[in-house]
A = this chain, B = another copy of it.
C-alpha cells in the first residue's frame, strides 16, 4: 500500500464529488489533497473522465512539482495548486488541506464578467465575510514565464493587495477563467466550490430582480459568520 494512501483516497473521493455536485462536465475540474507533514499533495490525473478515476490513478506531487508517485500526468493546473499550498499552507501557516478548480457555470460567468461577487445575503456570509474576489487577467509576461504557476502567484498577490486572508476567504475567481476554492480538507474544499456556485447563482438572480441591490449590512455579515465560525459559534453540534 502507498505511503500516500490517505491523501490519494481523499483526493479520489473529493474529485468524484465534482460530477456528483454538477460542478463540471466531462474531465473539467480537479481536486487535490495535501499532506503538510510529507509536503506532498495527491491530484487528479490530467484529462481523465471522472467515471474512469480510481484511487490508484491519483498522482502524488511534491512542492517542487516533481511526481513522487503515479504513472499518469497530473492535472495541467497542478502548479497553481502547488503555489497555493506553498505560499499559504507552508509559508503562511493557513490550515489548507485541499484545493479545487472547477468550471461551474455561474462562477465561471462571474469570472468572465470580471466582477467580484457582492455579499448580498446570509447564504454568502455563512461562509465568507468578504465579497468573492476576482483577480485581474494574468499578464502576458507572467503567462509566458509559466502559466499555471503564475496563476497561483496572481491569486496570492491579489489576496495580499486586497488584504484578504485565505483562511477566511476560501474562494477566488480568476478573471476570464473560473473559480478556485480550498478548505481544511479536500472534502471541505469541494463543499466551498458548491457554496460558491450557489452563491454566484443567487447573486445573478438578485441583480436581475434588483439591479441596485445593496450589500448586506456589516453587522449581519459579522453575526452570521461568527455564529458559524467565531470563538462562540453555536451553529452545529459540539465536536
Contacts and interface: CB of A to CB of B under 8 A. Distances in A.
Interface of A: 25-28, 45-48, 72-73, 76, 103, 105-106, 108-115, 120-123, 137-138, 140, 143-144, 147, 176-178, 191, 194, 198, 201-210, 213-214, 216-217, 219-220, 223, 227, 234-238
The 10 tightest CB contacts between A and B, nearest first, are A47-B236, A109-B205, A113-B210, A112-B120, A113-B209, A112-B121, A112-B206, A109-B206, A122-B177, A140-B219
A173 B112 CA distance: 21
B120 A176 contact: yes
Contact of A147 (B26, B177, B208, B227): B227
Contacts of A217: 137, 140, 176
B209 A115 contact: yes
Nearest to A211: B113
Contacts of A209: 109-110, 113, 115, 204, 207
Given A121-B112, A209-B207, A236 B143 contact: no
A144 to B, nearest CB: 8
Contact of A45 (B138, B178, B194, B237): B237
Given A26-B194, A112-B206, 8 more contacts: A73-B236, A110-B206, A112-B202, A121-B177, A137-B217, A143-B220, A207-B208, A208-B208
Contact of A206 (B76, B113, B177, B235): B113
Contacts of A123: 28, 103, 108, 178
